[in-house]
Every structure is written in C-alpha cells, then in structure tokens.
Structure 1
Amino acid sequence: MPIDIERFEEGSSRDLRADGRTNAETILTFLAGSPEKAYTPKEIHEATGVARGSVGVVLSRLEDRGLVRHRGEYWAVGDAEDVETTLTALAGSRALSERLGPEDPDEWGPGVESDAERTNE
C-alpha cells in the first residue's frame, strides 16, 4: 500500500514498516495460518507482500532455526510449538518496543541517556 510522500521523507525507518512486523514474522505467520499447505516463494511473496528478493533469504534463515521446512520448490511451516513460541516472543517484543519507545538511542530524543553513556560517566 502506498504512503504519503511526507511520511516517506520525514518518518524514521521504524515508522515506515507497514505494520511493525519483520519479514520473518510476516512469512512465518502466513505459513502458520495454513499448516496443511506448502507454498512456493512466489506464492509467499504474492500472499504476504514481502519483497520477492527477500522471501528466499528469509525462508533460509527460518529453516536454519527449524521454523520452516522445504522440499523441492515448496515451503511449509515447521514444528507448531516452536513456531507459536517464536511468534509470541516477536509479538511481545514488538508490543514492548511500541510501549517503551525505540531501541535506538539516537531516536530517544534530547535528555535521555543510553546505558553506555551512563556507564562512561
């Protein structure tokens, strides 16, 4: 979905994520939603909107972690319990970031010190 050019020009990279989810979380959520099916990277791209060039890389990383599996051209969700644990942790982390603010000290604003700055005093 397109965004206003002012938002594009002035928004931080965190603000410019369409829904705050990472590509890995988006793909994993999609695959977990249909555990009885396997998809090609093209189908995953079309269903999730994750950039076509990113889908393969993300799938490979998820496979390294045992969260997805593949045979031939097709990819499917991995162990349901591991996937649920991972998605819950990602959602919790995102919720905390939204509630407590950005992780990047450069985005905290004036007057707020990072842990590293405090320990250098």
Structure 2
Amino acid sequence: MSIDIEDFEERTSAELEEPSNAERVLRFLYENRDKAWKASTVAERANVNENSISAVLNRLKEQDLVRHKGSYWAITDDTERLRRAHQFHRTVQRFDELYGEEDREEWVEASERSNE
C-alpha cells in the first residue's frame, strides 16, 4: 500500500498508523449504534480477521465498551465511558508520539528488582 507524498509529509506518525482491530470494531459499532450485530458481520464490516473477532469483542466487553446478548454485539450505552476511553487512548498515543512508546519488559524488570 502506498500514500501520496503530500500525506506522508503533512501527517504525524500516529495519523499514518492503521487503526487497531479494537478501534475498527468500536468505530463500526458506534457508527451503527442503532443495531446489534453478529460477530461475523462485525468482523466483515469492520475489516477485522474473523479468527480475531471473538478475542477483540470479549476484550472490549471486559472493558464495558460493548454489550453482548446471545450471538449479538452492540456498542455500550454508556457514552461517558466510551468518551473517556477514547480520550485516554488519544492521550496515550500523544505521549507515545512525544516521548516514545513504553517498553513493557522494562517495567516488568524494574518491578521485579524493586520486589527483591
């Protein structure tokens, strides 16, 4: 895949990144919040691999960002929670852009050293 050089020059690194599967699912469900969907349809419409969709939806359910009933999924009706999650996500992306991404292994090692 390619992009125009103008886009390359004008956009930030974060803007050039592809959205994650979770972002795609949330965007699709939010844009279609008047309906509930089967997982396979969510995968197809959100452009997420069907083998990954159950894990993505279950992770979002654990975070109370989607609802699940029977074989259907829908965006949360808690719009404040959804807004805060989106705001937090954007803040983390901005910090990563400014200061670099955190290295999980470094945090684990530091934690283990402090527990010794």
With the shorter chain as reference, the TM-score category is: 0.5 to 0.7
The residue type equivalent to 1:50 in the other structure is V
Unpaired segments ≥5 residues, structure 1: 4-14, 107-115, 117-121
Q: Are 2:74 and 1:55 aligned?
A: no
Indicate the RMSD between aligned Cα atoms, in angstroms.
2.8
Partner of 1:103: 102
Verify the 8 A CA contact 1:63 1:69 in the aligned structure 2.
yes
Q: Determine if the alignment matches structure 1 residue 80 to structure 2 residue 79.
A: yes
The residue correspondences of 1:24-39 to structure 2 (distance < 5 A) are: 24-39=22-37
SS in structure 2 at match of 1:69: strand
Consecutive unaligned residues in structure 2, runs of 5 or more: 3-12, 111-116
Normalised to the residue count of structure 1, the TM-score between the two structures is 0.63
Give TM-score, length-normalised by structure 2: 0.66
Q: Once the two structures are aligned, what percentage of the paired residues are identical? A: 32
Higher helix share: 2
Distance 1:65 1:105 in 2: 20
Instruction: Please give the alpha-carbon distance, in whole angstroms, between the structure 2 residues aligned to 1:38 and 1:67.
Output: 14
Q: Is the 8 A contact 1:68 1:77 kept in 2?
A: yes
